Amino acid sequence: MTERILENLADERGNREGDGCLLDIVLKQVSKRYTGRHLDAVKELDLEIRQGSFVALLGPSGCGKSTLLNLLGGIDRPTEGVIEVGGLSLQSMGDDQLTEFRLKKLGFIFQFFNLLPTFTLEENVRLPLEIAGHDRAFVDSEVTELLDKIGLGERRGYLPAQLSGGEMQRTAVARAIVHKPAIVLADEPTGNLDSENGEKVLALLSEIHAESGITIIMATHSNEAAACAERSIRMRDGRIVSDERNA
């Protein structure tokens, strides 16, 4: 698995990101204020996350964890400060480069699943690979393997409207990792699931983390969910109040 990650890290166009193949994340004095608001969603954050960590961002709603996630994913730009991923500053990237970055290096999991309603389960999972332009045979084998592993193989031809919440989120997880990204960002992945399904998803995430060296950064308001991670970073009013290793 690690070898595959290492292979994938080399951009097909021959660009290399940073030195080596590890994308460590570094935030320096990052602040974010949305237009029209008078408070910072995130204030002067300093943070370092090494490649391969499983980090939980813990806090009540409005504490800035979602904002931080967006910043890490290059979806939003910080008002102040610098975000570096693998030594490269996200701010220095243009829109096309950010898109490329998200395509190859990131995986997202949303609270409301964000599956495309007109795509089947399988087609949703295939998307990242297809957008990246891999040939059909390759995509077929990767996706089939992954779906079987996660146990969604039988439901592959169903549309999201026909899936249960748990199935949908597990599909979202599959979609987030099918292209072997370096980093997975999950925003309240269990927020919309009942406890049983929520546990299943967390177990899946843990398993994935254990097998590959993917960095997983999960925003959640549930302590139980956070417990699955290695490290819990508590946030409040846009600041980090605590940063602990979990047992």
Partner 1 sequence: MREFDHFLGALSLFRKFVLRDCLHNYVRTVITICGITLGVSVFLAIGLANKTALSSFHDTVDRVAGKANLEIRPLTGRSFDQSILTGLTWLEMAGAVYTPIITDDVVMSVGDDKSEPIQLLAVDYFADDAFKGYEVADSDSSGESPTSLNGVFKHLGVLVGHALASEHKLSEGDKIELAVDDRRFEVQVSGVLTDKGTGAAYGGRLLICDLSLGQEILDLPGQVSQVEIISPPQKIELLQEKLKSELPVSVTVEPASTRTSQIEKMTRSFEYNLYALSFIALLVGMFLIYNTMAITVIRRRPELGTLRILGLSSRNILSLILAEAILFGAVGSLLGLFCGVLIADWALQAVAMTYQRLYFSLPLDSVRLEPVILLVAFLTGVGLTTVAAVPAALEAAAVSPAEATRKMSIELNIDRWTLPFAMVAFVFFGLSAYSSTLPALANFPFFGYFSALTCVFGVAFLMPALLKRMLPVLGRILYPLMGLESRLAVSSLGRTLGRSSVAVATLSIGIAMLISLAIMIGSFRETVIDWARQTLVADLWMRPASSDGGSKNARFSAHMESRLAAVTGVEAVEPWTESDFEYAGMKATLGGARFDLVEKYSNLNYLSGRSNREVASSIRGKSCIVSESFSIKHGVQAGDTIEVPFKTGLMPLYIQDVYYDYVNDTGFVVVNRDFYRKNMKDDGINSFAIFVKKGYEPVSVRKRIFSELSGQSRFVVRTTGELRERILEIFDQTFAVTYALHAISIVVAILSVMNALFALTEESRREFGILKYIGLPAKGIKKMVLTEAGVLGLYGCVFGIMLGFVLSLLLIYVINKQSFGWTIRFTVPFDFIAQTFVIIMFTSIASGLIPARLASATQAPEVVRSE
Q: Which residues bind partner 1 (CB under 8 A)?
A: 66, 70, 73-76, 95-96, 99-100, 102-104, 108, 110, 112, 114, 116-119, 123, 127-128, 130-136, 175, 187, 192
CB of 230 to partner 1, least distance (A): 25
Nearer to partner 1, 135 or 196 (CB): 135
CB of 99 to partner 1, least distance (A): 5
Q: How far is CA 77 from each of CA 10, 16, 188, 217, 222, rounded to the nearest angstrom?
A: 25, 23, 21, 18, 27
Token pair belonging to 141? 């084998």
CB of 96 to partner 1, least distance (A): 6
CB of 240 to partner 1, least distance (A): 21
**Rounded distance, CA 78 to CA 27, Å?**
10
**Rounded distance, CA 194 to CA 147, Å?**
22
Nearer to partner 1, 82 or 132 (CB): 132
Nearer to partner 1, 127 or 217 (CB): 127
Reading across the β-sheet that carries 231-236, which strands appear in turn? 106-109, 183-187, 215-220, 54-58, 231-236, 239-245
The phi-psi region of residue 180 (left if phi > 0; otherwise alpha if psi is between -120 and 50; otherwise beta) is left
CB of 22 to partner 1, least distance (A): 21
CB of 183 to partner 1, least distance (A): 13
Nearer to partner 1, 179 or 234 (CB): 179
Nearest to 106 by CA among 236, 9, 208: 9
Nearest to 226 by CA among 240, 212, 245: 245
**Rounded distance, CA 233 to CA 64, Å?**
12
Nearer to partner 1, 130 or 237 (CB): 130
Nearer to partner 1, 156 or 175 (CB): 175
**Dihedral, 73, 76, 80, 82 alpha carbons, nearest 10:** 20
